[in-house]
Structure 1
Amino acid sequence: MTTPPLPPSPSSPAPGAERTDGSSIRIGALAPLTRPGWVEAGRHLLAGFELAVREVNGAGGIAGRPLELVVRDTAADPQRAAAAVDELARLGVAALAGEYHSVVARAAAARADTLGLPFLCSSAVLDALTEEPTDWVARLAPAQSHGWQIYADFLRGAGHSRIAVAADPSVYWASGARILRDHLAPRGGTVIELDMRALTPAAVCEALVDHRATALLLLVGHPEPAVPIVKAVRRDRRLGAVMIGAPAGQPEFAEWATLLGDDGTAIPFLRYLPERLTPLGARVATALRERLDEAPSFVAFEGYDTVTVLADVLRSHGADRARTAASWPSVTVEGTRGQIRFSRTPGIGVWQWAWAPVQVVDRDPADRDRFRILHSG
């Protein structure tokens, strides 16, 4: 694994983006580029943004005007994200893109809604991205309730009825546990919550034995405490038959395999890719691999698709913010993972692509750089 490049400074455009000369159309980009944010996810998201911007500008830009990214690092901090939205609005960006962490994206969406700034959320899945319905926000990633119900179906199909969840305190993790419980309970499943504020990895192992759990789901941060928990369970002979799962996608990134080696294989997680990419997706995959020097995650495709959608909207409707927000229901864009259209979905207050493809995959124990598709929804 190569060392990630240093993130751009808060006052600089992203590497490879056009420098402003007074004629650029600016897009504000939010991503976690420093700890405690999930830096590897932020790096992939930014790579997708940058590649799409480069291609848009190579094809003549937006009516002859270059597209420019103005990047801000959220560091997984909701307050920092809200402040960045304020700053980007003052700088005159036409729209806002990005973010990976759901609680951070929720803060950004609330501020964008208040300011009247169009926000296309790339990767955050929390259903309640906004408290009230809004026309200013749209989202590419599937809602958590959609993806995690598919994961629950996978668990049930694999024969797991006593499922422990090791959970950190978070609106996102609590929402995930509730989705699993509500979906599995009517079908005979039991979800046992383990509060990671009070338990060590060794104590988690004891709880798994006491509760006779057949599966442990990691609803926790990476690398801490996810990596120590995996190591402890893998080394406990009493738990050899317990499946470890990570629905939030921690094993997607190369750092997981680097830190855990073979212990990080056979841990099913959610990713938002089709079995076969579109022709556009296949071409973009090659370009992203060259840019990242590793296989692109689904997050990189989300970044690319975000800029592709915004560029299409800007070409059709210009850089007026209100016209951009009004255009969500008319979007029809060929993305890397299928045709993207937005609609209103019950229980979700933003314009939603319903739905990006969803897979349950794991790293192959025979080759930890290869992913096995276990279930699709």
Structure 2
Amino acid sequence: MTAPPSPTAADHRTGTPTVRIGALAPLTRPGWAEAGHHLLAGLELAVHDVNAAGGVGGRPLELVVRDTAADPREAEAAVDELALLGVAALAGEYHSVVARAVAARADALGVPFLCSSAVLDGLTDRPTEWVARIAPAQSHGWRLYADFLLGAGHTRVAVATQPSLYWASGTRILRDHLTPRGGKVIELDMSALTPSALPDRLAEEGATALLLLVGHPEPAVPIVESVRGDRRLSGMLIGAPAGQPELPEWATLLGTDGASIPFLRYLPERLGPLGTRVEAALRERLGAAPSFVAFEGYDTIAVLAEALRTHGTDRARIAASWPGIAVEGTRGTIRFSRPAGIDVWQWGWAPVRVVDRDPSATDRFRVLHEERGHPRPPLAPGR
């Protein structure tokens, strides 16, 4: 699918050849379009800032945007097209299964791909030099989430899940972390259950926590409504490690029913000067509070711009630059390494916290659990 031309393409007016970056994001259903638009907003803002500062080597950046619509085949076709258009690198994508398809095709074609938001550990089937990632690996964040559950006293944990490599991976991470520590994971297949039938199963199983390993808004929203409406489950913790409550649409659809649902958020508790400035600009661009996905998009372009400044537009040289990069992003200094079990260059790690929406003010987030020893960025004046 082809998205409308990016506003950053206006730099053609200068007559200076642009450096093209292919941008991939789910901008229409069945993709999580709201997440895709936040991702694109971050990418576009960063391109604007790079160009306002003189571009890279005197040349402006240009985003060539393609809508993946959460379809791996659409994404593969977009990679082929963008490679032929001569992009220096690929950026973006939110859905892990789609990002996996992009990574495989980018590796095969020899096009650098900096993945913004997809977290699946196995982003590729084999080690590759062509792919790097900004978002934390799923196992890193979800183990932290499992520690939060144990700390809150939840050892019988139900997961409402759908058939998907991503959800299956999440279930396995939770089970592998909780079981040796006395916990139990009870898998409930939502392709065989309706949201209205779920409360009976939860009551039968004696679960004290239910995790939403399902798509948004369907069936996540009706599941929350069904569980919240059942008096037997008044003490049930509903959780969403994948981050469905992060986007403003969640609060719009569920109101206070969407509060007190812990999820993983890849933002520090307080932003430094760069993050504070970017937050304000993103809020103006989006007309709403920016999610961590928008910051991931901004940081992606910040890294690619540095690679282009120091190594030029040759694709192989860009890919070779990952291990030597050190860029001050919106959420800390970004450097890439090869953590155990990860076959791409990985920022290790973005800040990871378990938060929820405050029921007394659903636009406010409460920090419930965080990594110990994670460095905090410098505070902005007055923060």
TM-score (norm 2): 0.95
The residue correspondences of 1:107-122 to structure 2 (distance < 5 A) are 107-122=101-116
Q: Distance in 1 between matches of 2:131 and 2:3?
A: 25
Partner of 1:35: 29
Query: Structure 1 counterpart of 2:203, which letter?
Result: V
Contact persistence 1:18–1:66 (CA under 8 A): no
Residue 313 of structure 1: which of 303, 307, 314 is its match? 307
Q: Percent identity?
A: 74
Task: Decide which of 275, 280, 285 is 2:274's aligned counterpart.
Answer: 280
Tell me, in whole angstroms, the C-alpha distance in 1 between the residues paired with 2:234 and 2:354: 21
For residue 371 of structure 1, give the secondary structure of its aligned residue in structure 2: strand
Instruction: Indicate the SS of the match to 1:341.
Output: strand
Q: Which letter does structure 1 place at the counterpart of 2:276?
A: A
Indicate conservation of the 8 Å contact 1:272/1:358, yes or no.
yes
1:13 pairs, out of 1, 5, 18, with: 5
1:244 equivalent in alignment to 2:257: no
Q: CA deviation at 1:12?
A: 4.2
* Amino acid aligned to 1:301: F
Q: Say whether the 8 Å CA contact 2:8–2:62 is kept in structure 1.
A: no
Q: 1:88 aligns with which of 82, 88, 94?
A: 82
Structure 2: distance between partners of 1:99 and 1:71: 11
Distance 2:47 2:338 in 1: 28
1:17 Cα deviation (Å)? 3.8
In the TM superposition, what is the alpha-carbon distance from 1:204 to its structure 2 partner? 1.0
1:175 aligns with 2:161: no
Q: Following superposition of structure 1 onto structure 2, how do residues 1-150 of structure 1 map, counting pairs within 5 Å? A: 10=2, 12-20=4-12, 23-150=17-144
Instruction: Kindly tell me the number of residue pairs found equivalent between the two proteins.
Output: 369
**SS class of match (2:197):** helix
Instruction: Give the counterpart letter for 2:361 in structure 1.
Output: D
Maintained 8 Å contact 1:13/1:68: no
CA apart distance, 1:13: 2.7
Aligned equivalents of 1:96 and 1:73: distance in 2? 13
Aligned AA (1:91):
L
**In 2, Cα distance between equivalents of 1:237 and 1:19:** 58
Task: Tell me the residue number matched to 2:195.
Answer: 201
5 Å-filtered alignment, 1:189-228, equals 189-228=183-222
Report the residue type matching 2:160 in the other structure. A
| SS of structure 2 residue aligned to 1:205 | helix
- d(CA) in 2 for partners of 1:342 and 1:137? 11
Q: Following TM superposition, by how much is the alpha carbon of 1:22 offset from its aligned partner in structure 2, in angstroms?
A: 6.6
Is the CA contact (8 Å cut-off) linking 1:100 and 1:124 kept in structure 2? yes
Given residue 303 of structure 1, which amino acid in structure 2 is its aligned partner? G
* Cα pair 1:18 1:67 within 8 Å, conserved: no
Which runs of 5 or more residues in structure 1 are unaligned? 1-8
What SS does the corresponding residue of 1:197 show, helix, strand or coil? coil
Indicate conservation of the 8 Å contact 1:251/1:269, yes or no.
Answer: yes
The letter for the 2-side match of 1:15 is P
Q: Which amino acid in 2 is paired with 1:14?
A: S
Deviation per residue, 1:99-136 (Å, 9 max, x gap): 00000000000000000000000000000000000000
Deviation at 1:19, TM superposition (A): 4.7
**Equivalences for residues 251-262 of structure 1 within 5 A:** 251-262=245-256
Which SS does the other structure have where 2:21 is aligned?
A: strand
Provide runs of 4+ in structure 1 moved above 6 Å: none
Cα distance in 2 for partners of 1:18, 1:177 equals 45
- How big is each residue's C-alpha offset from its partner over 1:322-348, in whole Å with a ceiling of 9 and x where there is no partner? 000000000000000000000011111
RMSD across aligned C-alpha pairs, in angstroms? 1.0
Say which of 291, 315, 340 aligns to 2:334. Answer: 340
The one-letter amino acid paired with 1:10 is: T
CA contact (8 A) 1:166 1:194 kept: yes
Distance of 2:8 and 2:86 partners within structure 1: 20
Residues 303 and 131 (structure 1), Cα distance of their counterparts in 2 relative to 1, 3 Å cut: same
| Higher deviation after alignment, 271-280 or 95-104 | 271-280
User: 1:316-335 counterparts in 2 under 5 A?
Assistant: 316-335=310-329
5+ residue gaps, structure 2, are 372-383
Which of 345, 354, 357 is the aligned partner of 1:351? 345
